Amino acid sequence: MIHAEGYAATGIQGIVESVDVPKGSFYNHFASKEAFGAEVIDAYFDRGQEKLRAFLCNADMAPLQRLEAYFDDRIKALRAAGFVRGCLLGNFSAEVADHSALMREHLVVHFAAWGNFFADCIAEFPADLLARFVLNSWEGALLRMRAERSAAPLIEFKEIVFGKLLA
């Protein structure tokens, strides 16, 4: 619900109704909506991490090919979804980072871990710097994808990153 509608637009009432539990149960598990948001951020990254690991730690492929295969897989999935929603970490960055130190801290940790996965595939010095740039550029391409509702920003991201920047 948060990925589709946004954090502010998703009420606790709607969340508890969707899983058919009383509203009081929510507060048995989460101190606040903000604490829940931080756990949503963690859960989202944990799930994405399996995919990151499957693609980017695949010793059967050359490092740069792994990274390219990862983006190809993401573009395929985003196309299947109709170019909506984008990345939940990017969305939280846009919507709540200015207003919640707690959620912002969780975003910082996961973006750093995500960037490290990329850095391991970018041999060129300085790999960590390039890796963070590639990750941020991907987040920007996802924003633009949602504005255009088209794969063009994603395809062009790949053209520049693999055809020029990392070539």
Of residues 26, 27, 133, 162, which one binds its own copies by CB under 8 A?
133
CB of 39 to its own copies, least distance (A): 17
Distance CA 20, CA 52 (A): 33
Q: Which of 59, 58, 46, 160 is nearest to 114 (CA)?
A: 46
Distance CA 107, CA 41 (A): 7
The tokens for 74 are 């993401």
**Using rule CB under 8 A, residue 9 touches its own copies:** yes
Q: Give Cα separations from 103 to 4, 25, 64, 93, 125 (angstroms).
A: 18, 22, 32, 9, 32
> Taking the chain, what is the end-to-end CA distance rounded to the nearest angstrom?
39
Distance CA 101, CA 80 (A): 34
Distance CA 28, CA 71 (A): 39
Residues of this chain, 77-106, that bind its own copies according to CB under 8 A = 84-86, 89-95, 97-99, 104
Of 54 and 129, which CB lies nearer to its own copies in the complex structure?
A: 129
CB of 106 to its own copies, least distance (A): 9
Contact segment (CB under 8 A) with its own copies among 25-33, 53-61, 64-72, 125-133 equals 125-133
Of 19 and 147, which CB lies nearer to its own copies in the complex structure?
A: 147
Of residues 52, 137, 151, 162, which one binds its own copies by CB under 8 A?
137
Of 12 and 143, which CB lies nearer to its own copies in the complex structure?
A: 143
Of 66 and 132, which CB lies nearer to its own copies in the complex structure?
A: 132
> Residue holding tokens 């509702």?
149
Residues of this chain that interact with its own copies (CB under 8 A) are 4-6, 8-9, 84-86, 89-95, 97-99, 104, 107-108, 111, 129-130, 132-133, 135-144, 146-149, 153, 156-157, 159-160, 164-165
